Amino acid sequence: AHFDLALDIEESRDQLSASLSYATDLFDASTIERMARHWQNLLQAMVDDQQQPISQLNLLSQDEQQHILQLWNCTDSGFSAERLVHELFADRARENPSAVAVKFDTQTLTYGEL
* Whether pTM exceeds 0.95: no
Q: Can you name the residues that pair with 11 across neighbouring β-strands?
A: 16
Q: What range does the domain containing 105 cover?
A: 78-114
- Residue 32: pLDDT band (50, 70, 90) is very high
Alpha-carbon distance 109 to 66, whole Å? 31
Contact partners, residue 45, CB within 8 Å, separation at least 6? 52, 57, 58
Least confident of 8-12, 20-24, 81-85, 106-110: 81-85
What local confidence, expressed as pLDDT, does residue 85 receive?
86
Residues 14, 46, single domain; the answer is yes
Alpha-carbon distance 35 to 19, whole Å? 11
Residues 9, 61, single domain; the answer is yes
Residues 59, 9, single domain; the answer is yes
Q: Can you name the residues that pair with 7 across neighbouring β-strands?
A: 20
- Residue 48: pLDDT band (50, 70, 90) is very high
Alpha-carbon distance 49 to 52, whole Å? 6
Across 78-82, average pLDDT: 73
Q: What is the CA radius of gyration of the chain?
A: 24
Alpha-carbon distance 36 to 20, whole Å? 8
Q: How many domains does one find in the chain?
A: 2
What local confidence, expressed as pLDDT, does residue 79 receive?
67
The 8-class DSSP code of residue 89 comes to H
Of 1 and 40, more confident:
40
Q: Which helix (H) or strand (E) holds 94?
A: helix 85-95
Residues 63, 86, single domain; the answer is no
- Residue 46: pLDDT band (50, 70, 90) is very high
Residues 29, 10, single domain; the answer is yes
Q: Over the chain, what is the mean pLDDT? A: 90
